[in-house]
Structure 1
């Protein structure tokens, strides 16, 4: 209603060298170029000076630049999904972790993988992943697989159905593929890796998932669970296998009856470790770990181990939980 507010003053900020907050910068840039042209035309008209061709060309370029004013001019970088791996900055990795709700605790953490191509898995495993129908890795796989490939101790927490099994199976198979194949010389020394699960059903699910990938590497997988003949299971282990998937109670029975040994086992996975402890399997889990050679135990300082890169003779323990872990490791 007030005449004073019918024609509000528009600030002209030094021909586009300044901007007002809360407004589209591209529109401000175009408006500044338009205002500059109007002012120059007004000055020329007043002084009776005609516009030179080079000035007209420069003004046209300025208008085109204002029209194409993009995020680079606004000092806002491209999104991480539009960048190559070598172009990623620390800010991009922070945004990436926030997008997928990935958080870490630890030292010298490797970067998460953005896609299967960047995972540094072998070509055989990548083909197996493709045939299994895994299009893009899940957040737990993005975070845990690079750690597993470095043969680091890992405690992974993610909800049920988020792909935790593949998150520990793929690094485990990569590690085993670098070791000597099973033969008559070493098959009596036991498997290279042990996966423990709290229930028979879960152990069988893990076996199905592991076989799906191990088949392409020629790695043999044996499950040791209740409800089946312990003699037959012990016979399968003595025939030689690289991976044993077991429930803690049945595995400790096999070890006590000398059906199986773990003389060369350097890789242990505890799937749903929190549930396993809640169900009272802690003595059995500790018994399985005690059955492994003491020479396989890693040094107390992980930083020292990472600096020395002493990976091949150490024991690697990975826990994957569906909920928060209250265990002291």
Structure 2
């Protein structure tokens, strides 16, 4: 119980009455007193407000007149509403103008694009018409020219307008038989366009194949014709090729490359046979499939895969590490020849895998020799590779280092643009393979930075380019600096002793100019010419 400081008010008392004691109130009583006091204050305030309002009503001049303050407030509210309406109308008008402007700009852009498309379409149509007219005129002119040639040929045949000139024949050539046909004796060419451009028949009956011809080649031609026809149709319709269509076409092309049971009725294809099951016919088909042709004697069989290459395990591991899945045609033909220490002339285009074709046999040859040590490092390297340019030499060096990863063979490149003293120091430290350009290598030999006393393996990569660039004297100088006591015998029927070290020369070229032929005749012994694809001029 809390003691209240305030006491209950009492009536004035006389001095004779004793003072009253303070009364103690409970909490509920105090709250009730507070409510009564607040209620009294509220009633008093209402009473004063009603009194003020009654005085104002008596002081008004008329009952309808509004107080000045209320009138000012109403005028201000009216002005505010009028300004708000004006701003809203202005915003609405601005929105309409912007909308109209956007619609107009869109319509104008649409019309401009439409006009541009129409102009482009008309221009393309005019160009197509002009191209058709030009093509038609060209064909007409060509046909007229062919008709004139045909008439001239008929006149020449029946009228004999041109008399052949008598040619003076030497007595030695009088009875010599000519194996060549003259141009006038060629009856395969005809003036008629129907015979000049024969159309390949697309068989739509039976099995769809012609008898007496390779079924796989016919399937490949059919797939090629179908692809060209689809491309022409898509080009006319302006439709792009879909991914599923491209995948289906690729599957058809892969299926056309394979032989089925109807293609080879007599026997299996060489790809399904083991090495010991291969026949002469299979090897001939194998060489035809990869456009491999040989010229020489005692030619070994080409290898079909890396497993049949007779390379060491270290080299096969390096080949797999380098990412070579399947040998290229020049590698199939040249590697077995190199393993037999035969001199090889490889004729193939650039980028056909020639580097591995001579590097792998070279590393096999070096692995049979004693390693380079302090006793024999002064005699020079075991093998030399010459390339026409510095870039090609560095590329060959990278490939050689890649294949020699598991053999521990040291490779040094000698090219221009670097210090010759530093390169000579690297050679004197000992290395098995030197890859160089002819000019820098002959400089090292003349300055006694390098010797070739034990070098019996030489490779001339892109020999035709080296000759064209004027390096023939340098190449001859390098070849003469090598020991000549290990040449192979002149008799091509004599078999080589595999245990004996012979001088082996590899020469790769894209063409065979006379200078390259002279080098081959002088420094190569009974070479085997390997040609990949077709060659305009072969070694005679």
Report TM bin, short chain.
0.7 to 0.9
Report 1 or 2 for greater relative contact order, CA contacts < 8 Å, sequence distance ≥ 6.
1
Q: Secondary structure at the match of 2:404?
A: helix
Match of 1:118 in 2: 308
Residues 229-308 of structure 1 correspond to what in structure 2 (within 5 A)?
A: 229-304=419-494, 307-308=495-496
Match of 2:508 in 1: 320
Q: Is the 8 A contact 1:71 1:77 kept in 2?
A: no
Deviations 1:64-93 (A, max 9, x none): xxxxxx679x86111000000000000000
Residues 163-242 of structure 1 correspond to what in structure 2 (within 5 A)?
A: 163-242=353-432
Q: Is the 8 A contact 2:341 2:502 kept in 1?
A: no
How many residues were matched structurally?
A: 260
Q: Secondary structure at the match of 2:301?
A: coil
- Whole-angstrom distance in 2 between the partners of 1:133 and 1:180: 29
Normalized against structure 1, the TM-score is what?
0.76
- Whole-angstrom distance in 2 between the partners of 1:99 and 1:170: 24
> Displacement of 1:313 after TM fit?
3.1
Q: Is the 8 A contact 1:197 1:272 kept in 2?
A: yes
Pair 308,128 (structure 1): closer, same or farther in 2 beyond 3 Å: closer
- Whole-angstrom distance in 2 between the partners of 1:219 and 1:246: 17
Residue 132 of structure 1, aligned match among 294, 310, 322: 322
Q: Is the 8 A contact 2:303 2:333 kept in 1?
A: yes
Q: Is the 8 A contact 1:262 1:291 kept in 2?
A: yes
> Displacement of 1:241 after TM fit?
0.3
Pair 315,22 (structure 1): closer, same or farther in 2 beyond 3 Å: closer
Pair 308,319 (structure 1): closer, same or farther in 2 beyond 3 Å: closer
Unaligned runs of 5+ in 1: 1-20, 24-69
> Displacement of 1:293 after TM fit?
1.6
- Whole-angstrom distance in 2 between the partners of 1:159 and 1:106: 21
Match of 1:76 in 2: 266
Pair 180,22 (structure 1): closer, same or farther in 2 beyond 3 Å: closer
**RMSD of aligned alpha carbons:** 1.8
Residues 37-76 of structure 1 correspond to what in structure 2 (within 5 A)?
A: 76=266
Q: Secondary structure at the match of 1:216?
A: coil
- Whole-angstrom distance in 2 between the partners of 1:170 and 1:143: 13
> Displacement of 1:215 after TM fit?
1.9
> Displacement of 1:321 after TM fit?
1.4
> Displacement of 1:160 after TM fit?
1.3
> Displacement of 1:308 after TM fit?
4.2
Match of 1:66 in 2: none
Is the radius of gyration larger for structure 1 or structure 2? 2
Pair 311,77 (structure 1): closer, same or farther in 2 beyond 3 Å: same
Residues 1:94 and 2:292 are matched in the alignment: no
Q: Secondary structure at the match of 2:493?
A: helix
> Displacement of 1:322 after TM fit?
2.6
Q: Is the 8 A contact 2:340 2:498 kept in 1?
A: no
- Whole-angstrom distance in 1 between the partners of 2:512 and 2:496: 32
- Whole-angstrom distance in 2 between the partners of 1:174 and 1:152: 13
Match of 2:333 in 1: 143
- Whole-angstrom distance in 2 between the partners of 1:229 and 1:303: 47
> Displacement of 1:214 after TM fit?
1.1
Pair 95,165 (structure 1): closer, same or farther in 2 beyond 3 Å: same
Normalized against structure 2, the TM-score is what?
0.47
> Displacement of 1:194 after TM fit?
0.1
Give every structure 1 segment of 4 or more consecutive aligned residues whose post-TM-superposition deviation is greater than 4 Å: none
